[in-house]
Structure 1
Amino acid sequence: MNYAPRTIREFSTLKDILYGSDDATSSSSSQESSGSKESRKDHITDKLLERLFASALPAADAVNGGSTMADVAERLQDQKNRPAFSVPVMARNFSRLNSRVGVLFRLQYKIMRIMIWRHPSHTFSALAIYSFICLYPFLLIIFPVAVILLGFMVPAFVQRHPPPPSPLPSFPVPSEGPPLAEAREPRPVPELSRDFLMNVRDVQNAMDDFTCAYDNVVSTWTRPTNFKDEQYSSAVYLALLALAAALFVLSPHLPWRHILLVYGWVVVIKKHPKARRILKSSHEMYVSPREHQLSNVFDTWVQKDIVLDELPEQRHVEIFELQRQKNSDVDEWDDWLFSAAPYDTLSPQRASKQRPQGVRFLDEVLPPVGWKFVQNSAWKLDLRPAEWVLQRSVVGADVDNNSKWVYDTTVSGRRGEWRRRRWLRVCERHSAGEE
């Protein structure tokens, strides 16, 4: 059964929906004013869609393959000068891509035919070129020039000077004299043509190939590298670190040209149908029974030698108790609040004449995000206030080592209206799944 007419009708319907029908595009000039209104309407629709995607749709977190907030901000900055999301723009770009992407898929299929030995003479020719490049690396600089000369310019010359017809197959020798044919210019294939539909199918299959390759890479490398199993990932890290150190020492002494030469030939020979059958049977007979044994040996080494018994990281969290003087003539102070900053004379909040921020009571102080207070720990007064004053480079401060208060000082040397002292409490990191 022939599905081509049905496919063409579906593509025509899609094109009419996205771009408008030919009757609409060929309307008279009396409708051009309404066209500007429709363009404004489309612009408003695109803005609404963009707002919808930005606010209504859930965002994937970094654990599930999404982006962190820093990545999102950087991508938005990179996309600032790019067009916003638009369904017509996406459809137009998709159509333009399918009209021009055929050359990439033709190159892909040529490489595949070489790798699977479709034509052994072509495969041996490619291996010969690869061998010369491995043995004489300077040819890599000449290779792009040779591709332009032999792959583009010579065929273009033969196109303009076609050889005379011959009943016997022979090497095409260009005809002499003036050009006999027009120069061929690469052009996008027409929409809804056979080549266009073939490109659509190739793009569809390329998306599936990329998805499968991505899933295979993730499934293969997730367990060894994401430290979900810390013992296993630590063992892999040590093995890779030892490998990197060995390669750093041995790399200058290895014959890399010959290694790449042998490796390339081995990879291509493995793709030969007969070689694949032999390797498959050999793998099932000799390698597969030992893979499980090697895996068990590695797991036993991991369980025995990789010991992870580290205690949670502990640090001190600080809070500053702020008090304000009631009257400059009386040494009486009001409890103000507990703040994360000392609210000294050079603090940004105080310089901008803002009130300090914090909580009224010490029990209301919470640990930082991702931390928790150690069980049975309590707030302790910092008995060495001069140290944190020196560490923070607090100027204009009068330290009272007896009461542990740090006072503001005025220009005349008198104590100011604010004083503070620091309290400390031990907190520790907790796991992501722990409340």
Structure 2
Amino acid sequence: MATFKAILGSTLNNKPKADGTYTVYIRVTQSRVPQYFSISYSVKEKDWNHSPRMGDDGVLKHVRKSHPNHAKINQLISDTIEEMRDKINALPVKTPMRVKEAIKNEADDKSFMAFYAERLEVFKANPNDFRRWKRYNSVYNNLRKFLKGKDLRFDELTHEFVDKYRNHRLKLGRNGNTDFKKMSPILNEAIRRGYYDGPNLLMEEARRVKRRKKRKEALTLAELERLKNLELPEGSLIWHVRNFFILNFYFHGMRAGDSFMLKHRQIQEGRIFYEMEKTEKLASFKIPRDAYYFLNHYLHPDVSPDQFVFPFLSNDTDYSDATFLVKQLESKTALVNKYLRKIAELAEIDKHITTHVARHTFASFARDRIGDISKIQAFLKHSSIRETEIYLSDLTDKSLDESTDEIFG
């Protein structure tokens, strides 16, 4: 329960104004957190009663009769406290932050959808958060389609909602887990800010239902060699796409978005230095000797350090707008994947090859060559050994295949 007390600025060690008066504050304490809100009057220390008595009219006499407006200010203090009390009592969740918003008339009954939209705007405004904005915006749009124009309040995030939304996604061929995983941090932030005090059922649901495993596609070394040896017209788009894929393999499975944005200044003394766009982690690695057969096509002594290594993004285009950059990266990824399908046909590889298959192929190759999962974790820049274990478990285990051959011949 919130408590209220009128105090003079001198109590807070404030400096007096030019006329010797101090601002009058209402101290509101909620959950042991005090907050101070000024009113439109200030009085001198000699006119202030730090231990006021209750008058016959039910109003505490903070301001002494020596002040010409004592009755008016005392009544204002009393009315202000009652108004604050009413606002706080009306709050469904009473936290210091919500109390502050209510008193300053900033509070509203934000719905989950409204709060979600606000978080998206925060992500979108930060150039470093454009990937996060893209992922969370996709889920937000899924949710809007499900709601069909209706709002979604915090108190509607029930087991019934979770079941209905999952069934909706299942009908579309999705299990909903990815959506719940993205909605959950939004709800956690709302809980942290005091907009909701219920359980995070979205997180519970995401943890309860394990995501159905999908086998990660990876190329064998023989298939990779077939890609390398394909005779393609030098300088053509399909030639650049093949080189791009092979170099992503040599670049420790670098993600396509990072490769698209790789600039010549990030290649120094036989190493590549870059910030991973997805995780914002810094990465640096030695360029393998075999990579230069393909990389040398793009390294020229007269090239500008700020030019892109690969010819997919234009050096004359401004990519500072995060939304525009996301769309461009998506477009270029789709284009590269389209040509990778053609390349797979030419190399007679019966697999669905995408840009990410280069990463899977590197992980599979590293596991079979070195077997040290901690080193593979470092190569892939995973957050934990467990993440790497799960990642590798979805790749075909070559050692088990070889053991099968030994058993059955």
TM-score class, shorter-chain normalisation, is under 0.3
Tell me the TM-score normalised to structure 2 length: 0.20
Larger gyration radius, structure 1 or structure 2: 1
Tell me the TM-score normalised to structure 1 length: 0.19
